[in-house]
């Protein structure tokens, strides 16, 4: 129902740019402006700007914030420096996933969690359920707008607009500064596999910051990019999407999130279940695949064996503009997870061949600092 | 966008250009816009016979798949190999080089059931 859908502060900007609008996580969002492939390639070759204001921002404050939060998340936040961002996950006791998120450490007593738009209320309720005395939990999602500027030219475009030396903000670090004179949390993070920045700004400043960056970006072929390009970019980069590639039915180990599960931590929700699963051995796992025939394998298509029996499913799939191939992620039985293993995917009634490939499909050359 | 006056159109956004007893079939510019970036095309084989309204293949874009329906009954006599290799031609030139198949028309009276350029433009104006 349209009356219940939310708009970001930039909605009219998207309409002005002729964006196609869809409903996503309760918001009216731009899915594409012109061509998904062009927006995708713009990010890979130059830069793209995304309105990601629908994402959630939850603040954690308290004298024991670090101890408390470290029991809720799977990665080790004690290892974080201040002004560092860390990819993380919150798990159920069964080891399945509540959400994946970025944890921002302001200091030992203050953290910001950037969570998926579709999970804001669920995540907030989950944190409240585990709240302890002296821990403050504040959902500030409606107070912030968020822009992502991603691509090899992102730094060059933003450099003169930011009041602090941008090259001093290293990968997965952030700073509090100003963009075009407006207060912002500026982090060198992103969901595209390119260098880039995410800016957290107030809703009142969103339009002027957006317009200012677009204006500046004109000489650099900066393009506005929508949710469709955001999805094909993250998939190429091997990044997971909650709701597709993991949810409350998949454990963090099955989803391949081993690298953010720190078993050496004394305790965190889901640790025991994951330890058990690790000892018993996984029965299925998320893999990347490449189609060997024509077609696109989309979310929920089934993986079949040679007798046509259902053995798994596609969690995400698209056409990769950079690789010019159909790619995707799928849950398959553990015996099918080695790279180059052939798998069969039922694409609308026709069985097509695909092969398992290591993630990511695409990786940019890393900048040396 | 000018919809060629000498083409016939279907409600499913195919066009057919008639030359004697042969028809050239494609999808309209409106259809390609709705589909977005086209990445795969599945076309029938030469010699295959179809009734009007039967699906003859499909066009897959990044975001969706659409069936191609045969505007008139007949036998496929040629398939556009170029479009099979470069599906983006349908996005850039849906009415000419993005043609899909050529058909030997079984019964030209079936053309009377189709729309002309004006009727088609009315249809898409209503859809938008």
Q: Supply A227's token pair.
A: 């949710």
Residues of B in contact with A235 (CB under 8 A): none
| pLDDT tens digits along A297-311 | 999 999 999 999 999
Report the gap between the CA of A38 and the closest CA in chain B (Å).
9
Integer Cα distance of A281 and A60 in angstroms: 35
- Mutation pick from A22, A33, A231, A294 vs chain B, by most beta carbons of B within 10 Å, is A294
Mutate to test the interface with B, among A18, A24, A36, A41 (most CBs of B within 10 A): A36
Task: Read off the pLDDT of residues A87-123 as tens digits, 9 standing for 90 and up.
Answer: 999 999 999 999 999 999 999 999 999 999 999 999 9
Classify residue A265 as exposed, middle or buried by CB count within 10 Å of its CB (0-12, 13-18, 19+).
Answer: middle
CA nearest neighbour of B103 among B111, B91, B94: B111
Question: What's the mean pLDDT in A186-198?
Answer: 97
Contacts of B86 by beta carbon, 8 Å cutoff, 6+ apart? none
In percent, how much of chain A has pLDDT > 70? 98
pTM for the full predicted model: 0.92
* pLDDT tens-digit readout, B85-111: 999 999 999 999 999 999 999 999 999
B98–chain A nearest CA distance, Å? 18
- pLDDT for position A365: 65
The three-class DSSP label of residue A246 is strand
Contact state of A35 with B39 under an 8 Å Cβ cutoff? no
Query: Which range is least confidently modeled, A44-48, A84-88, A228-232, A346-350?
Result: A346-350
SS3 category, A125: helix
Find chain A residues with C-beta within 8 A of B91's C-beta.
Answer: 35
The rounded percent of chain A whose pLDDT value lies above 90 is: 95
Nearest in space to A235 (alpha carbons), one of A300, A114, A325? A325
Distances (CA, A) of A106 to A77, A103, A169, A185, A310: 12, 10, 14, 11, 47
**Look-up: residue for tokens 């949390």?**
A185
Could you read off the pLDDT of A115-167 as tens digits, one per residue?
A: 999 999 999 999 999 999 999 999 999 999 999 999 999 999 999 999 999 99
Looking at residue A4, its pLDDT comes to: 81
Residue A181's pLDDT band, with cuts at 50, 70 and 90, is very high
pLDDT of A221 over the 90 cut: yes
Q: Answer for the pair A89, A97: CB distance below 8 angstroms, yes or no.
A: yes
Check CB contact under 8 Å for A37 and B62.
yes
Mean per-residue pLDDT for A298-326?
A: 95
How close is the nearest chain B Cα to the Cα of A209, in Å?
29
Which residue in this structure is represented by tokens 């500027």?
Answer: A149
Write the CA distances from A304 to A243, A288, A342, A349, A358, integer angstroms. Answer: 22, 16, 11, 11, 20
Degrees (nearest 5) of the Cα angle A142, A184, A42? 90
What is the pLDDT, as a whole number, of residue A3? 59
Instruction: Write out the residues of chain A at the interface with chain B, using a CB-CB cutoff of 8 A.
Output: 32, 35-38, 228, 232, 294-296, 318-319, 321, 326, 348
Give the residue ranges of chain B where pLDDT is below 70.
none
pLDDT at A1 over 60: no
With helix as H, strand as E and coil as C, how does B58-109 read?
EEEECCCEEEEECCCCEEEEEECHHHHHCCHHHHHCCCCCCCCEEEEECCHH
Q: Which two tokens stand for residue B40?
A: 């795969």
Closest CB to B42 among A32, A294, A326: A294
Interface residue B37 vs chain A (CB under 8 A): yes
Average pLDDT of span A338-363: 95
Give chain A's mean pLDDT.
96
The sign of the CA dihedral A169, A172, A177, A179 is: positive
Contact A62, A136 (CB under 8 A): yes
Q: At residue A369, does pLDDT exceed 80?
A: no
pLDDT at B2: 85
Complete DSSP assignment for A198-212: EEEEEHHHHHHHHHH
Res B1: pLDDT: 78
The whole-angstrom separation of Cα A163 and Cα A165 is 7
Give the side-chain half-sphere CA count within 13 A for A137: 16
CB contact under 8 A, B63 and A228: yes
- Contact residues, B window 97-126, toward A, CB-based 8 Å cutoff: none
Question: What is the pLDDT, as a whole number, of residue A20?
Answer: 94
How confident is the model at residue A368, as a pLDDT?
Answer: 30
| B39·A348 Cβ contact <8 A | no
pLDDT for res A123: 98
């Amino acid at each position: 129902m349209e009356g219940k859908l939310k708009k970001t502060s930039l909605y009219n900007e998207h309409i002005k740019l002729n964006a196609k609008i869809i409903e996503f996580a309760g918001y009216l969002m731009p899915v594409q402006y012109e061509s998904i492939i062009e927006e995708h390639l713009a990010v890979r070759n130059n830069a793209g700007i995304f309105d990601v204001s629908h994402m959630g921002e939850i603040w954690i404050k308290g004298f024991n914030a670090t101890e408390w939060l470290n029991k809720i998340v799977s990665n080790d936040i004690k290892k974080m420096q201040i002004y560092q961002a860390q990819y993380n996950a919150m798990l159920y006791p069964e080891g399945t996933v509540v959400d994946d998120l970025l944890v921002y450490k302001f200091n030992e007593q203050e953290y910001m969690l950037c969570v998926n738009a579709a999970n804001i209320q669920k995540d907030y309720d989950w944190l409240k359920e585990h709240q302890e005395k002296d821990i403050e939990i504040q959902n500030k999602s409606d107070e912030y707008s968020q822009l992502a500027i991603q691509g090899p030219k992102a730094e060059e475009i933003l450099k003169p607009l930011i009041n602090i030396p941008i090259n001093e903000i290293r990968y997965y670090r952030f700073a509090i500064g100003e963009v075009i004179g407006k207060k912002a949390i500026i982090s060198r993070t992103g969901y595209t596999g390119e260098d880039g920045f995410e800016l957290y700004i107030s809703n009142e400043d969103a339009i002027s910051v957006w317009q200012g960056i677009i204006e500046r970006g004109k000489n650099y072929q900066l393009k506005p990019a929508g949710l469709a390009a955001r999805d094909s970019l993250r998939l190429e980069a091997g990044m997971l999407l909650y709701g597709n590639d993991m949810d409350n039915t998949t454990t963090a180990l099955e989803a391949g999130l081993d690298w953010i599960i720190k078993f050496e931590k004394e305790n965190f929700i889901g640790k025991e279940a994951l330890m058990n699963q690790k000892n018993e051995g996984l029965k299925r796992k998320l893999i990347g695949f490449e189609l060997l025939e024509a077609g696109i394998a989309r979310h929920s298509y089934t993986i079949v064996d040679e007798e046509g029996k259902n053995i798994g499913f596609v969690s995400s799939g698209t056409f990769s503009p950079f690789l010019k191939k159909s790619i995707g992620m799928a849950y398959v039985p553990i015996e099918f997870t080695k790279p180059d293993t052939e798998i069969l995917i039922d694409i609308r009634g026709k069985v097509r061949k695909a092969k398992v490939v290591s993630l990511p499909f695409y990786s940019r050359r890393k900048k040396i600092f | 966008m000018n919809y060629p006056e000498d083409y016939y159109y279907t409600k499913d956004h195919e066009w057919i250009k008639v030359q004697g007893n042969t028809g050239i079939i494609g999808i309209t510019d409106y259809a390609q816009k709705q589909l977005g970036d086209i990445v795969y095309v599945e076309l029938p084989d030469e010699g295959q016979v179809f009734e009007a309204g039967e699906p003859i293949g499909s066009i897959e874009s990044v975001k969706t798949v659409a069936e191609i329906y045969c505007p008139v009954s007949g036998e496929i006599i040629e398939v556009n190999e170029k479009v099979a290799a470069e599906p983006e031609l349908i996005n850039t030139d849906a009415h000419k080089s993005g043609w899909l198949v050529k058909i030997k028309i079984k019964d030209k009276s079936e053309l009377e059931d189709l729309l002309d350029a004006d009727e088609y433009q009315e249809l898409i104006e209503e859809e938008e």
